[in-house]
Structures are given as structure tokens and as C-alpha cells.
Amino acid sequence: MPANPPPRHVTVAGFFDRRPWIADTFVLTLLLTLLAWATSAPRWALPTGPLAGAPGWVAGLVSVAMCAPLAVRRVWPVPAAWTMTAAFALSAVLVIPPSLAYVAAPIMVYSVGAFAPARCGRIFLLVGLAGALVMGVALAVLMGAERTPGGRFALDLPSEAIATVVACTVFGALSVGFAWVLGDVRRRRRREIAAVAERSRLLERERERESRLAADAERMRIAREMHDIVAHSMSVMIAQADGGSYIAQTDPARAQGVFATIGTTGREALAQMRGMLGVLRDDDAARTAPMPALADIPALVADVRAAGLPVSLIGDPGLLAQRTALPASTGLALYRIVQEALTNTMKHAGPAARPTVSLRLEPAPATLVVRVDDTGRGAQAGSDGAGSGLSGMAERAQIMGAELAAEARADGFHVELRLPVALEPELTGTGAAAPTGTGAAAPTGPGASAEARPEAAGPAHSVVPTPEHEEPPR
């Protein structure tokens, strides 16, 4: 439903707030000028002073000159104040009787204090106080000036007139001082409001920038996860499909295991993608399957070995995960880096590649070292330059605060990651996991997966002969 419109008086007030010159010109200045003219331009002549006997409209013009600068008091406060000061000085010199034009003085002092720099406000405070004293002197001259028989003027003030002059002078000084206080408070308030508005604008801009950065980071994270899941799973499925089509003609029983592995790999990849996308669509992430971690590397190695790539695993990822107590995000990043390194080996290293995954813990300072080496083509491997595997690994390492080295050598490709870790106090006395040999992976720790041991791999994980030994029939 549309919001109720504001009341009429609120709309009118907002209109004048956005156009203050209308109120200053047509309300304040015009009204005060008319009243000053009516009270300072009597029909009789000026009573005393240098223009004694001059017509009353002279006083009216001076009063108009004193009130007219109020029209620009917000836009040009300092020039308007000096113009009014000159008009008041002329009024004192000509000994013009007081009128409502004197009300313009404290209004102008307030305007300078509110819309001009603080130094100008203090200057015109002193000018206003001096003007109040001058007004008292001019009032005393008007009330007590007499012409002597010799043609000279004499000042003779009765006690009642003295009290009136003093009261008017004190009232004028207090009015000017109070107006300056109000103006200074208004100036400080306007400055605070402007500072708050500027901070709000900067915070809004910073919030938008952080939102864009968060969105970009989330897109990059999703892109890395999708790349790792899809690239690894597709590489395994392609390798299995190539080998399965080859052995289907010679050993149908083994071909059934190969095709079962293809289906299992595809379902696992689909489940991971659904879990990741489900987190994005639903806040209830507790129902989704947990993401892989460091302790799941043996299962990863077993899956890659079942795809026909003879992988060796050195170290116990489960024990290392217990000793280091890595956060879930760090464990996932380590898993993805190993997964991407093995995927690159399957795609680029060639059929003769023999990769080795090594995990160890170095003391003083405690550093988790993850290495993936292969004996494939290395620097001779071709690349179309369209992949993002190495850049994804570098980004993950940078987020974790780890050092990553990835280089192609003449005898294969080498990936090494060094991550500073904090050891669990109750486990600091235990040694690092001992190597299990250089052959097929056989983790010995309690966290090792049964699938990572060669003797535990079932028919679904049987090694598929690669085309390096025999050309498939065409």
C-alpha cells in the first residue's frame, strides 16, 4: 500500500526549507522593511543631528538600507553584515531616531554566527556589542540634547532618561550576545549534521564495495569448487570409459566393474554439486553432506587409482588432521589442491605417469607439507592455456596463508604446499606419520581409509589397463 501523504503544513515547511531565500526575501526582509519605514519616516522633520529639519523619508531610506541585507544573509552573510554595519553607522552619525530596523542587527549577528566561519562570527559579535553602545549614546543625545542661548548643543539627561538609556543599551547588548550564541550553536549543529551525512555516504559506499568484493569472492569460490568437482570427476569418468570400452571385448566381468565405477563417480560428483548449490539456495546447510577434508585424501587416492592411475600415498592424512585440527575450510582447500594436482596428472602427464602424494609434518616451526609429484611428460606436456587449475590452487594457498610451488620439470610435474599449522597440545609428543613405502598407497594410521590400501580395493576399484601397453581395436 502506498504511504500516506504528509500533512499540508509539513509539505509547505519542506518547500520553504529547500528554498530559504523565499522566506528571507519576501517574508523577513520585506515585512521588516515595511515596518521600519512606517516607524522611522514620520511626517515631521528629523529632530536633531547634522540633518536636523530634513524630511522624514531620509530616515526611512536609512532604515530600508539597514533591513535590505537580510535578503542575502544565508548566501553572503559577511558582505551583508558589513553593509548593514555601514547603514547602522550612517544612522548613528545622522542621529536618526530608533525604529524597528534595529531588530535587523541581532538577526544579522545570528546569521553570521550560523552561516559564516567562526572567526567572522566572533568579529561581528564585537561589532554588535559596539553598535549597542552606540545606540545608547544616540538615544541619550535624542533624549537630552538642548540648544543653548549661544547656539550650541548641551546634553541634559534627567534620571528617568538615564535609566531608559542604560536599559536600552543593556537590552541591545544582551540581544546581540544571545543571537550570537544561537548562531554559533546552529553552525556547530550544521557542521555535525554535514559530518554525519558524509560519514553515512562513505559508509554506504564502503558497504557497496564490500558487497561487491564479497560477491566476487563467492563467485570465485563457486568457480573453484565447480572446476575441481567437474574436472576431477570428468577425468576419472573419461579414463574409465576409455579403458572400459577396451576391456569390454576381452573381459566383460571387469568391464562391469569399470562401468560401476563410472556411475559411482558421476553420482558422487552430482551429490557434491547439489550440496554446494543447496547451500546457496537454502540456509539450512545442516542437511547437506559434509564437504571433503584432509582425512578424505585416501579415498580420493583410491578413486584415482581405480581410474587406472597408479597413485602412491605416503603419510597418514587422518592422523595429520587430528594433530593439526585444521579448520573445515583449510581441510577442504588441501583436499582440492591434491585433487586438482592428480586431475592435471591424468589429463596432461601421459599414460606412463606414476604420481606420488606425500604428506608430512615438519617441526620447529610446525609446517604441514603436501607434495604431489609425477613421472609424466612434465615440461613437454601440451596445454591450451584455457585451464584454471594452477590459478585455483594458487588462490586457495593464498587464502590459507600457505606457500605453493608448482613447476614442470624434465622428469615430471612437481607441486608442493607448505602450510604453517598449530599442533594440538595433547598430540605434540607424537611423531609424524611414517612413510608407507613407495609403491601403492597403504596408510597405516587410524584415520586411513580402507579404500586407500591396495589389498582392500574391491572389483569396483580394479586397475584398468591403459593404452600405453596395447592399442585398442579400431
- Provide the grid cell at 37: 519605514
User: CA 65: distance to chain centroid?
Assistant: 53
Which residues of 245-402 form beta strands (DSSP E)?
Answer: 312-314, 356-362, 367-373
Q: Comparing C-alpha atoms, which of 301, 306, 273, 300 is closest to residue 289?
A: 273
Dihedral of alpha carbons 324, 330, 332, 336, sign: negative
Look at domain 213-461 and name its CATH class.
alpha beta
With residues binned 3-state (H G I as helix, E B as strand, rest as coil), the percentages for the chain, rounded to 5, are 65, 10, 30
| Degrees to nearest 5, angle at CA 208 with 206 and 212 | 115
Residue given cell 580395493 in the structure block: 457
Q: How many CA atoms lie within 13 A of 118 on its CB side?
A: 9
Q: Residue 417: which residues within 8 A CB-CB, separation 6 or more?
A: 334, 337, 369, 370, 371, 397, 402, 403, 404, 405
User: Prior bond to 425 cis, omega within 30?
Assistant: no
What is the residue-level pLDDT of the chain in tens, covering all 474 positions?
445 777 887 787 777 777 777 777 777 788 787 777 777 655 555 655 566 556 667 777 888 888 888 888 888 889 999 998 898 888 877 777 777 788 888 899 998 988 888 888 889 899 988 888 888 877 777 776 555 555 455 566 667 778 878 888 888 889 989 999 998 998 899 889 888 988 888 888 888 888 788 777 767 777 777 766 666 677 777 776 776 777 777 777 777 777 777 777 777 777 766 666 655 555 454 444 567 888 889 988 888 888 778 889 998 888 888 888 888 888 888 988 998 888 888 887 777 788 999 999 988 788 999 999 988 777 666 665 555 678 878 888 888 888 999 888 878 889 999 999 888 765 444 444 433 333 333 333 333 333 333 333 333 333 333 333 333 333
State the greatest distance between any 2 C-alpha atoms of the chain, in Å, as a whole number.
149
Distance CA 227, CA 389 (A): 8
Which residues of 175-325 form beta strands (DSSP E)?
Answer: 312-314
- For the entire predicted model, the pTM comes to 0.45
The three-class DSSP label of residue 309 is coil
Per-position b or e across 377-398, b if 16+ CB within 10 A of its CB: bbeebeeeeebebeebbebbbe
Distance CA 220, CA 413 (A): 25
- Provide the grid cell at 261: 565405477
Domain regions of the chain by residue span: 8-206, 213-461
